[in-house]
Amino acid sequence: MASSSSIPCTIYFFFFFLSTFASATLRVGFYRSSCSDAEVIIKSVVNQAISQNPGVAAGLIRMHFHDCFVRGCDGSVLLKSTPKNQAERDHPANFPSLRGFEAIDEAKAQIEAICPNTVSCADILAFAARDSAYRVGAINYTVPAGRRDGRISIKQEASTLPTPSSNADQLIKTFANKGLSAAEMVTLSGAHSIGVAHCPTFSNRLYSFNATHPQDPSMDPSYAEYLKTKCAPPNGGGRSEQPAVALEFFSRNRLDNWYYVELKNRRGVLSSDQTLLSSSSTSKMVMDNARYGSKWATNFGKAMVKMGSIDVLTGSQGEIRRHCSFVN
């Protein structure tokens, strides 16, 4: 008896989930008829920005991640603070290190000129991250679109982003909260194959690890010596501008699987990087990614698409911003 009454219930929930899922579905070629040049424009703006400064590629890939993990991929990371509201953009996880805003603004301006009120900033960012991965890593994937822009951005919410001192189990949890697996977390961390980290995000590993070990024993000691030449002891430099070092030294402007090889060499810069090799729950994934570069690249594209669908606004939700830094 109990089981017969549970069947309609199961069916009800099946359709309930199906319909909520369907309403949040993004589509490849979403702007094909409404703004057919959108993706071409974004690619050209992004390529030009990267040729002037390769760091923009890193900035845009990271920006998409920080957008998606806070309030979903709704462009909330792009909004500027106002006199009444401190936005995500000004949280220490984003400011002053997050970069690439000018490229998004430039793409948006060019697109608004030919198809106003049509292409969302959240989509522009998703495309720009993809174009960056292609330009600096030849990683090719299609981006389903149809995201709408949010109207809310709250500085404090960015504190849910993973921190560089997180251990593997904490990272697994943070990503699981967003529907991403441990393997996807490890795959996406490969983005640290490009770009930089500022000294305060890791210098405790060089100077003040713990009571018995000033230096993090999981780091290659000669690499630690090298990094010390770049980073003064915490609060020892007295300068306002903090230096930055490449997250992956070997092929710093190339998005490839050398990040994982360098983890094996104990040359991960952030504690959250090296922990992926140290932890038994993720070390095999690191080994596999270090070994099979093209498989990692394919998985990276897939994981970026999945990350790009986190809590998106679609249909008539949100708005299409006219300027990416401000709500309409």
Give binding residues for heme b as ranges: 192
Q: Choose the catalytic residue: 66, 198, 213, 323.
A: 66
Minimum Å gap between C-beta 278 and ligand NAG is 9
166 lies in the binding site for ligand HEM (CB under 6 A): yes
Q: Tokens for 312? A: 């998106």
Contact 257, 193 (CB under 8 A): yes
Residue 294 Cβ vs ligand NAG, minimum distance, rounded to whole Å: 13
Query: b/e per residue, 207-233, with b = 16+ CB within 10 A?
Result: bebeeeeebbebbeeebbeebeeebbe
Tally of CA atoms within 13 A in the half-sphere of 199 that contains its CB? 21
Q: 270 is in the binding site of which of ligand NAG, ligand HEM, none (Cβ under 5 to 8 A by kind)?
A: ligand HEM
Query: In the window 190-219, what residues touch ligand HEM (CB under 6 A)?
Result: 191-192, 194-198, 201
Residue list, annotated binding site for substrate? 162
Task: State how far the Cα of 328 lies from the Cα of 310, in Å rounded to an integer.
Answer: 23
CA distance 72 to 92: 19
Coil, helix or strand for 74? coil
* Known active-site residue 198: no
- Smallest CA-to-CA distance from 252 within 194, 190, 199, 196 is with 194
39 and 31 Cβ atoms separated by less than 8 Å: yes
Choose among 278, 232, 287, 282: nearest CA to 259.
287
Identity of residue 41? I
Site string for ligand NAG, 131-170 (x = CB under 6 A): ---------x------------------------------
x/- letters, 262..301, toward ligand NAG (CB under 6 A): ----------------------------------------
Q: Does 211 bind ligand NAG (CB under 6 A)?
A: yes
Going by the annotation, the residues of the binding site for Ca(2+) are 67, 70, 72, 74, 76, 88, 256
Contact between 267 and ligand HEM by CB under 6 A: the answer reads no
Considering only 29, 179, 217, 221, the residue that binds ligand NAG (CB under 6 A) is: 217
Quote the tokens at residue 175: 């990503």
Stretch of 2-10, 25-33, 37-45, 160-168 lying at the interface with ligand HEM (CB under 6 A): 160-168
